[in-house]
Amino acid sequence: MDTDESLSNRWRQRVKYYAQLIAQKLEDGVEVVKEILSTLTNDERWGVMVEMEENQPQIFCQLLAVAPDWVQWMG
């Protein structure tokens, strides 16, 4: 039986994984990033962006530079 803590840990690990994946795939283009994000829940998408902003600020800035409208595809 899953506990709240184990669900939370799995969510965090999933968010970290996808943040790393997006960092790697950003050079492949914005459409690839959008496709990856589209497979996640709304909470996971926002979690990925927060994770990137906090732990990969250079990559996050690169994303902002190539996709200033990123907030529009988050909802």
Domain ranges of the chain: 4-73
Q: For 1-32, what is each residue's pLDDT tens digit?
A: 567 788 789 999 999 999 999 999 999 999 99
Tell me the whole-structure pTM to 2 decimals: 0.86
Confidence of residue 68 (pLDDT cuts 50, 70, 90): very high
pLDDT at 38: 93
| Cα distance between residue 39 and residue 59, in whole Å | 20
| Cα distance between residue 67 and residue 61, in whole Å | 10
Q: How many helices (H) and strands (E) does the chain have?
A: 4, 0
SS3 3: coil
Q: What is the mean pLDDT of residues 24-52?
A: 95
